[in-house]
Structure 1
């Protein structure tokens, strides 16, 4: 009996983890990208979009992962977020909030990602009788899409009052315990200046042009939830990327786990 009681007590103390995924839908018309086939490059059509409904898009790929169950699908009223899916892990108290942003509003996607990374704008969702806090309270915030900061400065999104040095010791520690990942071309170069100012811990960034498809994101999340080291997470992501891109060896040079200096 005492052993059972202790196990029960520790399980009750475990906190719910929340992962917030922001997907800027691929958009030939509104983004400065190398054009992709029309059917998958319409940023107003999540069903067929390269980063959402296509074969390796987030929605389609995660629908095939048995440990992730869809518990809610929302259709927001505005045209900024076209679809929102909440997943629950079968074996852990972990939720994913995944949002497909209209490709026309990629600037808003990046703004929201940086805002949430700064621990601002908590987003609360009700799943049955459970309330989960995403946005600025998410444990892991992920951006997927075109690297919009190649064209626009991050500085317009971040007021000086959000800098890590201005936070209380308690909030600094909270920020250090949170993670950010950016699956976009050369994200280490373009997102490091902004994210490093916020004090959030980097999990995966990229150094080269790349395809931000869901197999890499899945590999990262899976390893992170197993409390693997950053080195191991990087290796798992690189291995998954190489497998699906049919590369001869893991693309370790493409992924990093620290900000640029």
Structure 2
């Protein structure tokens, strides 16, 4: 007969993973300078700056310690979504597992990605955290008209894009979404920031803005090879804690 302590441990249900949904519009040389032609080809998953390059989302995270690819599926024919990648970050002691669902959008369909992201932030997504990682399209155009779902809870959000506090901040406020991390300057929305974000979520939950900012600053300083002070200037200072959205 198994000892009672062991039986009680076996009866404990597994800890639910924190769900993170990430929108990644591929870099498009027609909009911004992405580098050489392959890096800015808006549908080239294997070479694009934001997806298949060294610090692109799929290449970097699929090789990052503790991350495992769960699934990799092509988007529907004629869809703006080229690929959906699901990864899990294994939980260390005292952490929660994190499950990331990344949507790779064709760079020439960035407007669709923007609308889908804002709709998700307004509550269409059930993820614990909704993330944009790519070009700040709102620097180029007016915000799209996105209606909040009638019965939904706006989500906590992170926007890794140039000057997202200025351009995304007012739009997110209108939608009722709760920014956890935004930026103040031009920046590179590369995947080491997604790794740092996932680690913070595992340790502190999806809405701990101070811990999130500290992790993003540290990662940005390390990979950009700049001072902590310079990296700190990139990310917005956290405001009041998000209200109305509790981590699961």
Could you tell me the TM-score, scaled by structure 2's length? 0.83
Structure 2 partner of 1:94: 98
1:70 partner SS: strand
Structure 1 partner of 2:187: 210
Gaps of 5+ in 1: 121-135
Please give the alpha-carbon distance, in whole angstroms, between the structure 2 residues aligned to 1:215 and 1:26: 17
Structure 2 partner of 1:18: 19
- Assess, with a 3 A threshold, how the Cα gap between structure 1 residues 40 and 3 changes in structure 2: closer, same or farther: same
Structure 2 partner of 1:199: 176
Structure 2 residue aligned with 1:109, among 92, 113, 127? 113
User: Residues 120-147 of structure 1, C-alpha deviation per residue, up to 9 Å, x if partnerless?
Assistant: 2xxxxxxxxxxxxxxx111111111111
Query: Contact 1:192–1:259 at 8 Å: present in 2 too?
Result: no
Structure 2 partner of 1:128: none
Query: Contact 2:98–2:198 at 8 Å: present in 1 too?
Result: no
Please give the alpha-carbon distance, in whole angstroms, between the structure 1 residues aligned to 2:38 and 2:115: 27
1:34 partner SS: coil
- Assess, with a 3 A threshold, how the Cα gap between structure 1 residues 77 and 158 changes in structure 2: closer, same or farther: closer
- Assess, with a 3 A threshold, how the Cα gap between structure 1 residues 104 and 145 changes in structure 2: closer, same or farther: same
Gaps of 5+ in 2: 241-248
Structure 1 partner of 2:246: none
Please give the alpha-carbon distance, in whole angstroms, between the structure 2 residues aligned to 1:57 and 1:257: 26
Structure 2 residue aligned with 1:252, among 232, 235, 241? 232
- Assess, with a 3 A threshold, how the Cα gap between structure 1 residues 7 and 252 changes in structure 2: closer, same or farther: farther
Moved more, 83-92 or 141-150: 83-92
1:158 aligns with 2:159: no
Shift of 1:44: 1.1
- Assess, with a 3 A threshold, how the Cα gap between structure 1 residues 257 and 114 changes in structure 2: closer, same or farther: farther
Shift of 1:203: 1.5
Please give the alpha-carbon distance, in whole angstroms, between the structure 1 residues aligned to 2:170 and 2:161: 15
Query: Contact 1:187–1:207 at 8 Å: present in 2 too?
Result: yes
Structure 2 partner of 1:126: none
Query: Contact 1:183–1:212 at 8 Å: present in 2 too?
Result: yes
Across the aligned residues of Structure 1 and Structure 2, the Cα RMSD in angstroms comes to: 2.4
User: Residues 144-173 of structure 1, C-alpha deviation per residue, up to 9 Å, x if partnerless?
Assistant: 11110112222x3323xx29xxx77xx5xx
Query: Contact 1:188–1:259 at 8 Å: present in 2 too?
Result: no
Please give the alpha-carbon distance, in whole angstroms, between the structure 2 residues aligned to 1:50 and 1:62: 14
Q: Number of paired residues?
A: 230
Please give the alpha-carbon distance, in whole angstroms, between the structure 2 residues aligned to 1:194 and 1:206: 14
Please give the alpha-carbon distance, in whole angstroms, between the structure 2 residues aligned to 1:252 and 1:8: 45
Shift of 1:249: 2.4
2:182 partner SS: strand
Structure 2 partner of 1:187: 164
Shift of 1:15: 3.5
Higher helix share: 1
Could you tell me the TM-score, scaled by structure 1's length? 0.79
Please give the alpha-carbon distance, in whole angstroms, between the structure 2 residues aligned to 1:259 and 1:231: 9
1:118 partner SS: helix
Structure 1 partner of 2:85: 85
